[in-house]
Structure 1
Amino acid sequence: MPLRLRKLIGTFALIALVVLYALVATTVATYRLAESPWWVHLIYFAVSGVIWVLPAMWIIRWMERPQGDESN
């Protein structure tokens, strides 16, 4: 797959990941943490604010792979 096409697909995948992840994280927080103390909110949003980076790193690594390296 050409590098430019892979970057285009990866860009749309990253945008979709961020939007969907934000919706899911906010929905979980709204329904599960409504009556929780402030420190539970702090921990939840700190952890959920970092977890999305893991799939984003995989997408970026896939986008930046050299053109002939299709084995991974």
Structure 2
Amino acid sequence: MGPRTRRFIAMLGVLAFLAVWIWGAISIRGLLPPSQLLDLLFFAVAGIGWGVPLYPLFRWAERGSGKKRD
């Protein structure tokens, strides 16, 4: 599989993951008591935390992109 194909598949994966991540964050926040401080902390963690589960997908998408093709 070529690097362009891997990157395209990874892009679709990121879009799907982010849609679910955002939906989940909003749903979980709705279960917690109302508080501005809690909003700040919760959405700061949710806003930073999305990249951690996607790291393996990013690595897979860039794997082999530095190699020459003969």
Bin for the TM-score computed over the shorter chain: 0.7 to 0.9
Question: Which runs of at least 4 in structure 1 moved beyond 3 Å after TM superposition?
Answer: none
Per the normalisation by structure 2, the TM-score is 0.80
**Alignment length, in residue pairs?**
66
Q: Which amino acid aligns with 1:4?
A: R
Unaligned runs of 5+ in 1: 68-72
Q: Which amino acid aligns with 1:59?
A: L
For 2:56 and 2:25, the matched residues in 1 are separated by 20
- 1:70 match: none
Unaligned runs of 5+ in 2: 66-70
- 2:52 match: 54
SS at 1:66 equivalent: coil
For 1:37 and 1:54, the matched residues in 2 are separated by 26
1:5 CA drift (Å): 1.4
Identity level (%): 28
Per the normalisation by structure 1, the TM-score is 0.78
